Structure 1
């Protein structure tokens, strides 16, 4: 994949750093969507997480309604809605409504992971048994509602998802294990692999998705992208510090320290035992960091390894200014152009 043709998108998790509030985090998400729209990014996705003080995005569908009103051309979507928590009909109607408000701009990204702990998952849906067959049934129902399928002797012969529109949101399945790639291939949906969650085996999982893809009325050929943590800065030392801080935050969460990300200046990994140093090194494999030229080269290589035309950048930093600058430098490195982006999407 040539760097000149690589598409760049953003997944924003509305992080709440130390010293900030959830409201500030959500306002920053709105500002970042506007920035991405101006800079020429392809998509801007927002995530779903529950029962956490580190991320503010618990209802992506609500946030997307606001983002649509604040942007002009960029595609907007969920990265993703955790389908097992909800009814397929409700999800279909919510995103058909968003598609009606912002036609041709809405992505419905679906995940099957809890996005939280099991107790909270039970509170969201007491009937969730976390079974693959249940998710597969929900997914088939969702597809039928989105397509207005009439299936005799089923609920789809009588119940349709409103509002009734000429276009439907673009369906994506999100995965860090590959299982949802098989589901995506089966229903003819697009597939996004979360390298920022699992940096191992992703290219093979995307390859299997492509091999098993079944064309659908909405998607004639397989479509995939890869999402990865990105920390870009003017200097290598600053980028390294940002990556170190993010890797340390991942280690803290992994070891049960559920506290918001702190300032770069507070980083201290001295004295960590060898096993935690190894885990810290592992978390660095989830991150692409460096100066613009270095990040451009590494993202281009990552896209080539996955054989995808699009990379989704994820950024969690204590400083909002660092996050803004990282996305600006990334756009400059790849020479994104909002006018060309708008024409390409027509």
Structure 2
């Protein structure tokens, strides 16, 4: 089973945005050294608690300071953009870091309604155009527009022999169906939803002609002991409430309902159980703690279990 990391570049208590970005780069280097398969950066806008509105810029730095780990966006929020500049930027990354670049695609707003309007104007209409945007992006990535198409005359430069590998990210049956229709590999955001993930994944597999790899993104906190892990999770809940403006009832553990929290043995057992449910090829792990040292140690413990 492959393990990867999803990083939202959180600005934790007492830290600056600059420190958050520096910690992301440090964690990516640690991930490569520990044997994680890929390192993805999330995209968010107008959110002071999250420091990366432009994953491609950060990926260029991470790629230059690593050598083997796959790097990518998790995800480019496609309704915010035209397909052409996205293809250009990720072809450029793939030219710099051959065989290492992923292009995750999502359709969430990634910020407030006001931020979405500032980015894309009528965001909802762009969401409805998502299938067309994906088609355009794939044609740009693979240089295979029909000869009579206006965009067939466009040459992307730099263009690579091995283009960035596209994935579709989602949390619903609708996204799974879209991924299958577009013949895209699929990432399911287990940590973001209470939906029946295994059922959604089975739907995707039933609709996909050729077997595609499946990633499940899950929130994990691994402590030296169960008590330590629970304490770290409770401390992190304060930051999460500020970041999401959602009140959380710690007494009822609402925030922890679909998280994996425990000591290394417990985390291993829970991930193995989840893998059996999903029949997935890979877990992409998101860890949010109240400080960067706890985050680093959690990822180290998880790597020591599996890698």
In the alignment, the residues of structure 2 paired with residue 231 and residue 194 of structure 1 have an alpha-carbon distance, to the nearest angstrom, of 16
Aligned to 1:281: 253
Other-structure match for 1:313 = 285
Q: Name the CA distance, whole Å, in 2 between partners of 1:226 and 1:248.
A: 25
Assess if the C-alpha contact under 8 Å between 2:194 and 2:258 holds in 1: yes
Contact persistence 1:250–1:283 (CA under 8 A): no
The one of 1, 4, 10 equivalent to 1:9 is 4
* Counterpart contact for 2:222–2:301, Cα < 8 Å: yes
What residue is the counterpart of 1:262 in the other structure?
none
On the 8 A contact 2:13/2:291 being kept in 1, the answer is no
Aligned to 1:295: 267
- 1:244, distance to aligned residue in structure 2 (A): 2.2
Q: 2-side partners of 1:256 and 1:87: how far apart?
A: 32
Equivalent pairs counted in the alignment come to 307
Alpha-carbon deviations, 1:8-60, whole Å to 9, x = none?
10001110111100000000000000000000000100110111111101110
Match of 2:222 in 1: 232
Secondary structure, counterpart of 1:168 in structure 2: coil
User: RCO (CA 8 Å, sep 6+): is it higher in 1 or 2?
Assistant: 1
**Residue 67 (1) aligns with residue 62 (2):** yes
Return the match for 1:175 from 146, 170, 179.
Answer: 170
Q: 1:129 and 2:119 equivalent? A: no
Partner of 1:19: 14
Quick one: which of 53, 76, 83 aligns to 1:81? 76
* Matching of residues 11-160 of structure 1 within 5 Å: 11-130=6-125, 132-160=127-155
Task: Give 5+ residue unaligned stretches, structure 2.
Answer: none
In the alignment, structure 1 segments of 5+ residues that lack a partner are 1-5, 216-220, 258-275, 337-346
SS in 1 for 2:102: strand
In structure 2, the partner of 1:325 is 297
Q: How has the CA–CA distance of structure 1 residues 144 and 280 changed in structure 2, closer, same or farther, with 3 Å as cutoff?
A: farther
**Cα gap change, 1:328 to 1:278, in 2 (>3 Å):** closer
State the distance in 2 between where 1:279 and 1:91 align. 44
In 2, the alpha carbon distance for the partners of 1:28 and 1:123 equals 28
- Verify the 8 A CA contact 1:12 1:314 in the aligned structure 2: yes
**8 Å Cα contact 1:244-1:284 kept in structure 2:** no
**C-alpha deviations, 1:83-132, integer Å up to 9, x for none?**
00011010011001100100110000011000011111010011433455
The question of whether the paired residues in 2 share the 8 Å contact of 1:234 and 1:292 is answered with yes
- TM score, norm. by length of structure 2: 0.95
1:154 deviation in Å? 2.0
Instruction: Write out aligned runs for 1:243-262 (5 A).
Output: 243-251=233-241, 253-255=243-245
Counterparts of 2:143 and 2:182, CA distance in 1:
15
- Aligned equivalents of 1:305, 1:130: Cα separation in 2: 35
